[in-house]
Structure formats: C-alpha cells, structure tokens
C-alpha cells in the first residue's frame, strides 16, 4: 500500500500520517492475543508487537490506524 495514495473511507479526501502517543510509554503499540486482566510489565514478554501509526483525514478528521511489521 502506497502511503501517499491513502484516501479517507468516509469522504475520500487525502490522509496525512501521524501517531497517537501513549502518555506513559511513548508511542502506542499493538500486541498479539487477548488483553491481560492486569497491565503489569510482564504481559509484554514474548508477544509479537508493532508500533501503531495513524492516518488522519485532512477534511473530516477520520482516523485510520495501522500496525505494520
């Protein structure tokens, strides 16, 4: 998928790249599997993970997130 060709699913306007920061741990990260019942640091061990990037529609503000390898 060419990033420059993304268009908004709602209004077909152009999308610009960005990210959604996590206030305590930097950038948002996607983890494989079910969410743990408690969020201790150990839940991250051995899990596949990808940094989340988000595209924003320049016209309506719609957000679309990707967790690419």
Residues that bind Zn ion (CB under 5 A): 8, 10-11, 13, 57, 59-60, 62
d(CA 21, CA 63) in angstroms, rounded, equals 14
Nearer to Zn ion, 62 or 66 (CB): 62
Nearer to Zn ion, 11 or 44 (CB): 11
Q: Which of 1, 5, 10 is nearest to 57 (CA)?
A: 10
Nearer to Zn ion, 10 or 49 (CB): 10
Find where tokens 């150990």 sit.
Answer: 42
Instruction: State the minimum distance, in angstroms, from the CB of residue 12 to Zn ion.
Output: 7
């Amino acid at each position: 998928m060419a990033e420059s060709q993304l268009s908004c699913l709602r209004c077909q306007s152009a999308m610009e790249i960005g990210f959604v920061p996590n206030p305590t741990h930097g950038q948002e990260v996607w983890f494989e599997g079910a969410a743990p019942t408690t969020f201790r640091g150990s839940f991250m061990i051995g899990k596949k993970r990808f940094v989340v990037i988000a595209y924003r529609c320049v016209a309506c503000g719609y957000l679309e997130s990707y967790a690419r390898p």
